[in-house]
């Protein structure tokens, strides 16, 4: 992971479905990576999803496993929460 100045090794792919008030707000695969050399995180989670008015763009998301993030599911939740706070959703 060049951005965080550490190395990453792919570990697994985990399907995640995030539901809010009975509606699926995100569904997809989250890639899990073990990190070496990062001062705070031992793991990172990454995925992509369509973006833009026509959904022709693609957004890549990476979240470090730093509390409260402790799983692919909480990584997705925190990314959604961050987007809401920033007015992206």
Q: Tell me: the pLDDT tens digits for 39-51?
A: 899 999 999 988 8
Cβ contact 48:55 at 8 Å: no
Q: What is the per-residue pLDDT for 4?
A: 58
The range of the structural domain enclosing residue 28 comes to 2-85
Contact 25, 16 (CB under 8 A): no
Report the distance separating Cα 70 and Cα 62, nearest Å. 14
Classified as helix, coil or strand, 76 is: helix
More confident site: 3 or 52: 52
Q: What percent of the chain shows pLDDT beyond 90?
A: 62
Number of domains the chain is built from: 1
In the β-sheet with 57-64, what is the strand arrangement from edge to edge? 7-20, 23-36, 43-51, 57-64
- C-alpha 48: how far from chain center: 8
pLDDT value at residue 89: 65
The better pLDDT of the pair 52, 30 is held by: 30
Considering the entire predicted model, what is its pTM?
0.85
């Amino acid at each position: 992971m060049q951005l965080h100045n550490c190395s990453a090794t792919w570990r697994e792919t985990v399907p995640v479905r995030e539901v809010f008030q009975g509606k699926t707000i995100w569904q997809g695969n989250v890639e899990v990576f073990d990190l070496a050399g990062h001062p705070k995180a031992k793991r990172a989670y990454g995925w992509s999803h369509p973006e833009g008015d026509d959904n022709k763009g693609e957004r890549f998301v990476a979240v470090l496993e730093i509390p409260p993030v402790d799983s692919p599911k909480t990584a997705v939740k925190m990314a959604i929460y961050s987007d809401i706070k920033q007015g992206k959703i």
